[in-house]
Amino acid sequence: MKPKILIVDDEPLNRITLEAFLASDGYDLHFASNGRDGCAKAHLVQPDLILLDVMMPEMDGFAVCREIRADPVIGRIPIIVVTALDDERSRLEGLRSGADDFITKPCRREEIRARVRTVASLNRFRAIAEQSERFQRLYELAPAAIVLADAGGKIVAANRLADTMLGSAHRLLQGDDLGSRFDPASAQLVLAVITAALQGSAGDAHEIRRGSGNDEIVMQLRAAAIPDSGVKLAMLVFDDITTEVRARTALENMNRELDALVRARTNQLEEANALLLSYASFVSHDLRSPLTVMKGYLSLLKDGVYDVGPKAMPAINQAYQASEVMGELVHNILQLAHDVHDGSKAEPVGVVDARPIITRIYQHLGDHHPNGGRKFTITALPLVGVSSVVIERVFYNLLGNALKYSVGMVAPLIEVGTLPSKNGDAAVIFVRDNGVGFDSRQADKLFREFSRLETAGKSEGLGLGLSLVARLVRLHGGKIWAEAAVGAGATFYVQFPAPVTAVPQS
């Protein structure tokens, strides 16, 4: 790069003369016609030298010197004052103002050239020395080991941290073999990194290790080529990542231990569930056998196979209904333990028209809850993406509850319909009755196991049905919720996934 020289003089002839003297020496010349412009140009150009006239209007050369020296950015630029003043007082004023040298007008060509060449070179050398000193400080204070090496892996220079990280009791010396600090495999990797860097590789990071056991050091190595007196050297930077690597290894070990604990705990839970299922099946079988016998005899009595007095018939009917409730309870307990609604055992997703299934369920349940004044309505329902078995299980319970809790109403009404879909969501099917209802603030209790509301106090059952229905709906990707008011009936909403095909199941 050419040295830059700024010439500040208000006389055009003087500027032309100095330009003629210096043009052949290859300088990058810049000009200013007054002191104020000279200060601005000094900021803009950042010259290696300023040739400054003294006798200028408004702002003379001494004032320019003082302003430049007071500026932290340009304050160290060398200044040669070119002046016709040759008295001792003027020279002292110039030195006090910060001038580095004087040239008396009229100037001789060779004197100008020699003075300029000397001062510009000295300024360049000083700047280079300062940059070198700054680099040396950074080099020594860097939080990484830095090594300069030639193509053969011989050390050219190394900072002090490299001595510690590379395991040397003394300073690494020029000419030492860098590979001798590592085992053969790591030494070969270091040499390969040096070769790649000198060939212009991007300088990817490599993990390299020294020592073993608790004394092992893990380093991240990067390299880049740098010029040095016409020869390319490789600058290798070693970052100590031992702490990070040990922390990563400890985390991986902890994750493996946690995985093992989770697997062991899962096995224990699976064994406990299997035991629970076995026990529930055993209990259900033992309960179901005598219950079946008892229900059979009660059925014979209820249907008039054996003569029974009219006073005993209400008690027989109540006993028969209690046996049915007991049978349903045993079945629900077995379902709860077995978890037959596990998503992995769910039927394949289909395309089903729920309306005929729900209508059939209502007709079946209505036979068990005769009421000549009850009204049932059902609208066209959307196709849903679950099997008919799932629909039967869900609506058997919902319609059964609607019939059960509307008993005693003057004009019982049960409605099944659908809400329009919003934002592309699947449609919602609802079951509404005008029965006893419940407090909506207790709606969250409906779908808990063994949870019953106050308005259900006169009804049979232990509150398992809706919990099983809710679990079944959720495991098939759906939603269920309810709204009600005490004495004003209840509405249950079910949203099943939309069908994935357009061909209904037969």
| HEC profile of 213-232 | HHHCEEEEEEEEEEEECCEE
**Where residue 372 falls among pLDDT bands split at 50, 70, 90?**
low
Q: Phi-psi bin for 489: left (phi > 0), alpha (psi -120 to 50), beta? A: left
- Mean pLDDT over 92-114 rounds to 83
The fold adopted by the segment(s) 4-135 is Rossmann fold (3.40.50)
- Mean pLDDT over 178-189 rounds to 88
- Mean pLDDT over 154-174 rounds to 78
- Give the residue with greater pLDDT, 215 vs 80: 80
Give 375-430 pLDDT, tens digit per residue: 999 999 988 888 877 888 889 889 988 888 887 777 889 999 999 777 767 889 99
Looking at 31-35, 106-110, 253-257, 392-396, which range is the least confident one?
A: 106-110
- Give the residue with greater pLDDT, 369 vs 290: 290
Please state, as a whole number, how many other Cβ atoms lie within 10 Å of the Cβ of residue 210: 18
Q: What is the CATH number of domain 142-240?
A: 3.30.450.20
- Mean pLDDT over 39-53 rounds to 91
- Mean pLDDT over 235-241 rounds to 89
- Return the SS3 of 6: strand
The DSSP bridge partners found for residue 479 are 495
Give 330-361 pLDDT, tens digit per residue: 765 666 555 444 444 444 456 788 899 999 88
Looking at 11-25, 87-101, 270-284, 364-378, which range is the least confident one?
A: 270-284
Task: Say what the pLDDT of residue 294 is.
Answer: 85
Domain extents for the chain? 4-135, 142-240, 249-338, 344-495
Give 425-448 pLDDT, tens digit per residue: 788 999 999 888 888 777 777 777
Task: Say what the pLDDT of residue 291 is.
Answer: 81
Task: Say what the pLDDT of residue 451 is.
Answer: 55
Give 130-150 pLDDT, tens digit per residue: 666 666 666 666 778 888 899
Looking at 87-91, 476-480, 498-502, which range is the least confident one?
A: 498-502
Task: Say what the pLDDT of residue 255 is.
Answer: 92
Task: Say what the pLDDT of residue 106 is.
Answer: 79
Task: Say what the pLDDT of residue 506 is.
Answer: 44
Per cent of the chain over pLDDT 90 is 18
- Mean pLDDT over 30-49 rounds to 92
Looking at 301-315, 368-382, 491-505, which range is the least confident one?
A: 491-505
- Give the residue with greater pLDDT, 494 vs 215: 494
Predicted TM-score of the model (pTM): 0.41
Give 311-324 pLDDT, tens digit per residue: 888 888 878 877 77
Q: State which H helix or E strand residue 414 sits in.
A: strand 413-419
Task: Say what the pLDDT of residue 429 is.
Answer: 94
Closest CA to 186 of 236, 112, 137, 225: 236
Task: Say what the pLDDT of residue 329 is.
Answer: 61
Tokens of 17: 């003369």
- Give the residue with greater pLDDT, 118 vs 190: 190
Who's near 324: CB < 8 A, 6+ residues apart? 295
Q: Residue 4: phi, psi to the nearest 5?
A: -100, 135
Rounded Cα gap, residues 384 and 111, in angstroms? 102
- Mean pLDDT over 113-137 rounds to 72
- Give the residue with greater pLDDT, 408 vs 65: 65
**Where residue 472 falls among pLDDT bands split at 50, 70, 90?**
confident
Give 195-211 pLDDT, tens digit per residue: 998 888 766 788 888 88
Tokens of 159: 């900072």
Who's near 406: CB < 8 A, 6+ residues apart? 374, 412, 413, 414, 433, 434, 435, 436, 489
- Give the residue with greater pLDDT, 225 vs 324: 225
The fold adopted by the segment(s) 344-495 is Heat Shock Protein 90 (3.30.565)
What length is written for the chain?
A: 506
Asked whether residue 456 carries a pLDDT value surpassing 60, the answer given is no
Give 208-213's long-range contacts (Cβ < 8 A, gap of 24+).
208/182, 208/238, 210/165, 210/166, 210/167, 210/181, 210/182, 210/183, 210/186, 211/167
Task: Say what the pLDDT of residue 455 is.
Answer: 53
Looking at 67-71, 75-79, 162-166, 477-481, which range is the least confident one?
A: 162-166
